[in-house]
Amino acid sequence: MTSQTFADAVPATSTLQIEAISPAVGGIVSGVDLTKPLATETVRALRAGVLEHGALFFRDQDLTREQTADFMARFGTLGTDPFSVAAKHPTKDNAVHNMPTYAQRRATAVWHMDSTLAPEPAALLALRALELPPSGGGDTCWGSMYAAYETLSEPVKAMIDGLSAEHSAYKTLPLLGGSNTGYLQADMRSVHPVVRVHPETGRKALFVNELWTESIVGLSRHESDSLLAMLWAHSRSEEFTMRWRWRVNDIVLWDNRAFQHYAVMDYEGNRVLQKSYVQGDRPRGPFENG
Ligand code: OGA
Ligand code: MN
């Protein structure tokens, strides 16, 4: 019998590992240094990981804005919130920006996907923690809209599969109040399918969110409000959601096409996260081709 030392069993280079937080959402990544250029197979493994787990969490990544942008650019074309200041100047540098104001905090303490009032909402998003409140708090939650869809009853799935909904700033503008940057306009709106077929996985995800979705097309106000309230209550379930307690230099990469998020507003003092975007495509429903 050959004996093998422990050192022999450890690979010479660190290997990427992803530990699931729950079956529905979240994976903790280890064995990768994002300050270094990533090998193609590492990017491939991370893309597969983000599609599977929805949100990937990396610890201890002390990245510059440039390095964060370079990392995100490996996954697609960098973009910005269509209504942000940075949208007016979409350079590589300001694709990575901070969102520290109180009013922005209020608007993110609602379950949402980013920028769904745009015709082509962000595909992937990242947040990196620069500064956290001294007294704790300020966690962020993520939830799987695949799981939310899949656990609906068959009659409800059949009913919503062919529906579409209007997304607008009707709720966000009042939340932002005077601190709207001026780029978010009352007439910005898009119609998207209520059930989105994910362009990469082909899985169906519930695609209505409490921040941007205004109404379901073709339903009365009462029908639309009631149906949306039911779908939102269902999608907030503990079974499909998780909560992340930040440390400085954590970065999370997530799939905005099938996962929603919520910023818990339970803290005082500064909390600065740097956000970056990878552009998405037009959401398609179950009955659309190509
Ligand atoms: C956002 C957002 C989450 C957070 O920037 O759109 O939802 O935890 N942020 O700040
Ligand atoms: Mn958000």
CATH code for position 77: 3.60.130.10
Question: In whole angstroms, how far apart are CA 164 and each of 68, 140, 205?
Answer: 35, 28, 13
- Nearest ligand atom owner, CA of 105: 1
Give nearest CA residue, ligand 1 atom 3.
Answer: 263
Q: What is the pLDDT of residue 88?
A: 53
Asked if residue 284 belongs to a domain, the reply is no
Q: What is the pLDDT of residue 158?
A: 98
Residue of 104, 105, 275 with the most ligand 1 atoms within 8 Å of its CB, for mutation: 275
Residues present in the chain in total: 290
Q: Which atom of ligand 1 is nearest to the CA of 271?
A: 10
Asked if residue 21 belongs to a domain, the reply is yes
pLDDT in tens, the chain (290 residues): 444 444 444 444 559 999 999 999 999 999 999 999 999 999 999 999 999 999 999 999 999 888 998 999 999 998 877 666 555 555 555 555 555 567 778 888 999 999 999 999 999 999 999 999 999 999 999 999 999 999 999 999 999 999 999 999 998 888 887 666 667 888 889 999 999 999 999 999 999 999 999 999 999 999 999 999 999 999 999 999 999 999 999 999 999 999 999 999 999 888 888 888 899 999 999 998 75
Residue range(s) defining the domain that contains residue 32: 2-278
CA dist., res. 80 & res. 116, Å (int): 13
CA of 128 to the centre of ligand 2 (A): 13
Which residues does 171 contact at the CB level (< 8 Å), separation at least 6?
Answer: 110, 210, 211, 212, 214
Q: What is the pLDDT of residue 45?
A: 97
The number of domains in the chain is 1
CA of 99 to the centre of ligand 1 (A): 8
Q: Which atom of ligand 1 is nearest to the CA of 81?
A: 6
The beta strands (E) that lie in the chain are given as: 17-20, 27-30, 55-58, 78-79, 96-98, 124-131, 140-144, 164-168, 189-193, 195-197, 204-206, 213-216, 241-244, 251-255, 259-263, 272-278
CA dist., res. 102 & res. 91, Å (int): 26
Beta bridge partners of 241: 143
Q: Which atom of ligand 1 is nearest to the CA of 140?
A: 8
Pairing of β 272-278 and β 124-131: antiparallel
Asked if residue 13 belongs to a domain, the reply is yes
Three-state DSSP class for residue 258: coil
Asked if residue 101 belongs to a domain, the reply is yes
Q: What is the pLDDT of residue 179?
A: 67
Asked if residue 27 belongs to a domain, the reply is yes
Asked if residue 286 belongs to a domain, the reply is no
Asked if residue 90 belongs to a domain, the reply is yes
Asked if residue 211 belongs to a domain, the reply is yes
Closest by Cα among 247, 273, 241 to 260: 241
